[in-house]
Structure 1
Amino acid sequence: MAPSTLNPLPTSRVTIEGKPAATITDFAPMVNVPPFGMCSSLANPTVAAATAAAFGVLTPMPCVPVTTPWKPGAPKTTLGGKPALTAGSTCNCAWGGVIQLVMPGAIFTQSS
C-alpha cells in the first residue's frame, strides 16, 4: 500500500554512487525488503483473521512481506556471479502482491 526502499547488503562489495549494488538474491523479507505499510490481501493469515474478527469487513494489517527472488535482473551484468537488479525487476509476495523496482538508487549523469 505504500512505497518502500530496497536495502541491499554490501556482500557483493560493489557500490554504485557510494551505495551497495543489488542483485536478484537481495529479497530477504525485513532485511532487504522492508514492509510496505499495510497489507490488504486476504491470503495473508493476519489480514484474514482480522477481517473475520470484524465480521467480514476487510481489515488491513501491518505488512510483513514474504518474498521470492527478483526477476529477471540484468541479463549481462553480474555482481558476484548473480544478475544485477535493474529498474523494472520484480519479486512476488506469498500473499499475492508483486513488488517492482521503479526507482533505482543510482542515476547515471554524464558530464560534457
Structure 2
Amino acid sequence: MGCPQVCSGATLQCSFGVAPSMLSVLPQNRTLTAGMPAANIMDHIPLVNILPFGMCQSLANPMVAAATAAALGVLTPMPCIPATATPWIPGGPPTMLLGNMPSLDSNSTLMCNWAGVIKIAMPGQVQMLIP
C-alpha cells in the first residue's frame, strides 16, 4: 500500500519553524482527493502553496542572523518567510502523475533556502483499512 496522497489543507512542519503550517493547493490540476485539490511536486511556491511557520530559528536566514548579531549572539527568531525555490523531493518512485508531474505523497520533503527541511506532518487525508 502506498503513502496517502497529499492535498490542500495538509499540515506541514519545518525543522527551523516554531509552528506548523498548511499546504495550499490551487485547483489547476483538476484532481481532487478527499474532496480537496491534490498536490504535485510543483506546489512549492512560497506564500502561495507554502505558508509561514510562525518564527524562523535558522541562522542561515539573513533576518535571524542580523537579529542574533544585534542581540550579541543570543538566538533571536524572526518571522518566517518561506524560501522554497526548488520543487518537492518525492518520497519514493512516482506512482501517479498530476499535471505531468509526480503527485505529492506523505513521504516527500521540501528544502528551504534557509537550511530548513519541510516535511508533511498530516497529508490532509487518511487511509482506512477495512478488515
Q: Normalising by structure 1, report the TM-score.
A: 0.92
Structure 2 Cα separation of the partners of residues 103 and 52 of structure 1: 36
Task: Report the identity percentage.
Answer: 57
Ranked by relative contact order (alpha carbons within 8 Å, sequence separation 6 or more), the top structure is 2
Aligned AA (1:2): A
Give 3-state SS (helix, strand or coil) of 1:46's partner.
helix
Query: What's the CA shift string for 1:66-89, capped at 9, x where partnerless?
Result: 012101156120111111111111
Structure 1 Cα separation of the partners of residues 101 and 72 of structure 2: 47
Runs of 4+ in structure 1 off by over 6 angstroms are none
- Which residue of structure 1 aligns with residue 75 of structure 2? 58
Structure 2 Cα separation of the partners of residues 16 and 108 of structure 1: 11
User: Are 2:58 and 1:41 aligned?
Assistant: yes
| Ranges in structure 2 where 5+ consecutive residues have no aligned partner | 1-17
Structure 1 Cα separation of the partners of residues 130 and 68 of structure 2: 55
Q: Is the 8 A contact 1:77 1:84 kept in 2?
A: yes
Judging by fraction of residues, say which structure has more strand: 2
Q: Normalising by structure 2, report the TM-score.
A: 0.79
| Ranges in structure 1 where 5+ consecutive residues have no aligned partner | none
Shift of 1:111: 6.7
Q: Is the 8 A contact 1:88 1:102 kept in 2?
A: no
